[in-house]
Each structure stands twice: as C-alpha cells, then as structure tokens.
C-alpha cells in the first residue's frame, strides 16, 4: 500500500492508500506541492508491517509566470536589459537569448557589449527547478554606432551693434543649428547650454526644415557684458552623443537714455541731429525728433560710462558727469539746469562774434542761424545768442 501526504508526520495504517503489489511504482499526486510518500508493506501472510515515509518530493507541473522586460538601455554599442516579474510556487531562474542565439541563465540586468549596428531582439523566459518554462518576453532595440551631426551653427541677434565688435544688444537672440542622425536610432534629444549653465532642450525650429533647431534667448539688463558661449549636444536613440565646441558671441547690454531739451526751442515737431560724447571720447550722432523742445533718446551698445555730453550745430555742448549704473542702464537728462543752450553756430563751443556774423548772414529764412528751430533766423534766435554771449560750452 502507498499514499501521498503533504504531512511529514503522517503515517499509513491498515486499509489506507492504494495498492501496489510489485515492480515499479508510478504515482503522481493530483496537484502541485511538496509530498511525502508513505508505504506499508505486507509479508506473505498478508500481515502489515508498519509505515515507512519517503520524501519530501516536490511536484510542480506549473511553469513560472511570463517575465517582463522592463527596459533595454542602449549606450553606443552596448545594451543593458532589465527584466523580472515572474512568480512560481518553487524556485526558478531566468534565461535570456539575443537574436538567434541560445538561451543562457542570467540575472537582471544583463549587459551585452560590442553589438553590431542595426535591429536586435532580446528574449527572456523563466524556468522553474522542475524545468517548467514560462512564456517568452521579447523586446526589439536598435544599435547605432554613429553619433548625430551638428552643423551650421549660427548666432543671430535682433539688435546688433556696429562693427567691428558687432555686439549682440538687448533683445532677442536666436541660436540655430542643423542636427541630423544616421545609424538607424534617430535623434533622441537636442540640447543647448548657455555659458556654464545646464543643458536645456533646443526646440525644433518653427517653420524650419526637419533638421533645423533653434533656441531663442532674450538679452536683458541681467546679462553680463562680454563674451558668452553656447554649446549644443545632440543624442541619438542609441545613446550616442555629439557635443559641439563652444560658439562665442559678444554681448553689450548697456544703454543710456533720457531726454534732451533745447533752450527756447520751438514747440512744433522738429528734427535735430544731436552729437553725444560718451566718456569724453566716443561721439554718436543721432537724429532726434523734438516736440515742445524735448526729445527722448536711447543709445545702445555704449561702454561703461561716467559722463555723457550733448551738442547740436546750433548749441553749446552740455556735459553730465558722475553717471553710475551697476547694470549698465544709464540715465541722463539734458533738461532743467542741464538743458542744451543755443548760440554756437560755428562749432567752436563758444558764443561770440563769429557766431553773430553767421546769424546775420542767415537773417530771414536761413537755417544756419535758426537756433530755436522755428524755420526763421530772426530776433528770437538773436535773443538766445545774446543770453549766452561769451559763454563757453562744456568739454566733450
Ligand atoms: Ca513551477
Ligand atoms: Ca546615430
Ligand atoms: Ca562759436
Ligand atoms: Ca529761429
């Protein structure tokens, strides 16, 4: 007689179990589990002789559940496969196979190195200790040994200063590049960093070709003057990346702005060229539109400054000193006591008889003596000149 029992402290007694007379016993329990085989033997007189226990024996007809490939991380010619998730009543292990190779025992993560370019497929299954095999998980991935190409990087500023510096001034700044990838995996990311900052996504150029990428920055007063750089990094789907050399551009965020007032100037709209002196040297000539004798002005691409002066072809020069602006955004108003005074018609920055003779020569409708800008050279202009007689203008 014999019987299966999951109880290690069981026994087989008279009348229990199934018969077994001789030869090989082939017996399988009804379900998976750990069993003991209890045997009761009989002598020729059919007298039972106790209970013998054999085992334990593990019966397992159930394969592990199918594993999951949770990721294939490709880095250049290497691929690391992570997998798991199978369960089974008994212990089991995983086996892995690449393409048409053979299954080998593996633990997660499994890394393959030096793979050939192109498409690959990895397979994973779980095998329990009785050899029952789970279903097969598989995942395709691409090996691509060719990093992306970044070319034609351009830096375009909305506002550009004069040559030779060609500074990028406050306003928009666009960095453009063409980025392509070969090798099959395609572009995964295009990033750009400004100076030593963090990489940020460089977007596809709106309205551009598929290979065009463009980053827009805004230069404002918070920027530092001088050389800045951008660096572009492109990564393909296989983890190959290309990082460009840093591309330099120069920034000058400085501005000076304010109002210019001309002494006793006409109230109607009138243009006048104003020659600004910066720091006593650089001269900028700007055409300003005056109304009520006042015009706003803004000069960009100016140096760090301590002084600015203003003069027209009808006036003495006025100098404002002591400028200070930590962020380079200077303000200087040629109004009130800094109003630009009229009367210097010959440009020597003094009002005297040489100017008077020009005034006399232009008397009537001549513009050379039209200090107040009303279109005539007449007594109104003479009175301005007279008020400033022998006055010297400020230095540049
Ligand atoms: Ca099993
Ligand atoms: Ca590639
Ligand atoms: Ca003069
Ligand atoms: Ca006049």
What tens digit of pLDDT does each residue of 35-54 get?
A: 999 988 888 888 888 888 99
The rounded Å distance from CA 59 to ligand 1 centre is 9
> What is the sign, positive or negative, of the torsion defined by CA atoms of 311, 316, 318, 319?
positive
Which of the ligands is closest to the CA of residue 145? 2
Q: Which tens digits make up the pLDDT trace of 268-313?
A: 999 999 999 999 998 999 999 999 999 999 999 999 999 999 999 9
The rounded Å distance from CA 233 to ligand 2 centre is 13
Residue 31, CB half-sphere, CA atoms under 13 Å: how many? 2
Per-residue pLDDT tens, the chain, 396 aa: give them. 888 899 999 988 888 888 887 778 887 777 888 899 998 888 888 888 888 899 998 888 999 999 999 999 988 889 999 999 999 999 999 999 999 999 999 999 999 999 988 899 999 999 999 899 999 999 999 888 899 999 999 999 999 999 999 999 999 999 999 999 998 889 999 999 999 999 999 999 999 999 999 999 999 999 999 999 999 999 998 889 999 999 999 999 999 999 999 999 999 999 999 999 999 998 999 999 999 999 999 999 999 999 999 999 999 999 999 999 999 999 999 999 999 999 999 999 999 999 999 999 999 989 999 999 999 999 999 999 999 999 999 999
The fold of 68-143 is Immunoglobulin-like (2.60.40)
Angle of helix 353-361 relative to helix 379-387, nearest 10 degrees?
A: 170
For the 149-251 domain, the top CATH level (class) is mainly beta
The pLDDT value given to residue 222: 96
Please state which CATH number belongs to domain 255-387. 2.60.40.4130
Distance linking the first and last C-alpha atoms of the chain = 124
The rounded Å distance from CA 90 to ligand 1 centre is 6
The pLDDT value given to residue 238: 82
Q: Where in the sequence of the chain do the CATH 2.60.40.10 domains occur?
A: 68-143, 149-251
The pLDDT value given to residue 237: 86
The rounded Å distance from CA 393 to ligand 2 centre is 69
Name the pTM for this structure: 0.69
Place of tokens 């001789």: 22
The pLDDT value given to residue 331: 98
Which class for 103: exposed (0-12), middle (13-18), buried (19 or more C-beta within 10 A)? middle
The rounded Å distance from CA 16 to ligand 1 centre is 30
- Reported in sequence order, the residue ranges of 85-136 that DSSP labels E, i.e. its strands, are 92-98, 104-106, 110-112, 118-128
Q: Where in the sequence of the chain do the CATH 2.60.40.4130 domains occur?
A: 255-387
The rounded Å distance from CA 237 to ligand 2 centre is 7
The rounded Å distance from CA 305 to ligand 3 centre is 28
The pLDDT value given to residue 103: 98
Phi-psi region at 15: left, alpha or beta (left = phi > 0; alpha = psi -120 to 50): left
Cα–Cα nearest to 223, from 164, 167, 286, 146? 167
The pLDDT value given to residue 47: 86
Which of the ligands is closest to the CA of residue 185? 2
């Amino acid at each position: 007689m014999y019987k299966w029992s999951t109880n290690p402290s069981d026994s087989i007694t008279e009348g229990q179990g199934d018969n077994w007379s001789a030869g090989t016993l082939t017996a399988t329990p009804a379900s998976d589990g750990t069993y003991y085989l209890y045997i009761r033997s009989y002598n020729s007189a059919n007298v039972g002789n106790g209970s013998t226990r054999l085992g334990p024996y593990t019966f397992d007809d159930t394969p592990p559940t199918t594993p999951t490939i949770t990721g294939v991380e490709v880095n250049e010619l290497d691929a690391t496969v992570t997998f798991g998730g199978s369960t089974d009543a008994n212990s089991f292990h995983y086996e892995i196979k690449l393409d048409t190779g053979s299954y080998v025992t593996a633990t997660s993560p499994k890394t393959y190195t030096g793979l050939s370019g192109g498409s690959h497929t990895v397979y994973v299954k779980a095998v329990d200790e009785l050899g029952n095999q789970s279903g097969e998980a598989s995942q395709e991935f691409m090996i691509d040994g060719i990093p992306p190409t970044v070319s034609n990087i351009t830096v375009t500023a909305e506002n550009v200063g004069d040559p030779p510096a060609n500074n990028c001034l406050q306003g928009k700044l666009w960095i453009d590049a063409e980025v392509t990838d070969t090798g099959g995996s395609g572009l995964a990311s295009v990033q750009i960093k400004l100076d030593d900052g963090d990489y940020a996504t460089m977007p596809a150029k709106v309205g551009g070709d598929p290979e065009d990428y463009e980053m827009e920055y805004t230069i404002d007063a918070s920027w530092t003057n001088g050389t800045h750089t951008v660096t572009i990094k492109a990564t393909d789907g296989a983890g190959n990346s290309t990082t460009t050399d840093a591309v330099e551009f120069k920034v000058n965020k400085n501005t000076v702005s304010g109002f210019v007032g001309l002494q006793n100037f006409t109230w109607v709209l009138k243009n006048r060229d104003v020659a600004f002196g910066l720091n006593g040297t650089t001269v900028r000539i700007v055409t300003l539109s005056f109304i009520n004798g006042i015009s706003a002005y803004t000069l960009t691409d100016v140096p760090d400054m301590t002084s600015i002066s203003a003069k027209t072809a009808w006036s003495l020069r006025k100098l404002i000193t002591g400028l200070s602006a930590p962020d380079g955004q200077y303000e200087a108003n040629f109004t009130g006591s800094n109003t630009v005074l009229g009367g210097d018609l010959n440009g020597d920055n003094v009002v005297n008889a040489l100017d008077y003779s020009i005034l006399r020569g232009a008397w009537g409708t001549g513009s050379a003596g039209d200090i107040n800008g009303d279109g005539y050279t007449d007594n109104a202009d003479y009175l301005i000149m007279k008020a400033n007689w022998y006055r010297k203008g400020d230095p540049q």
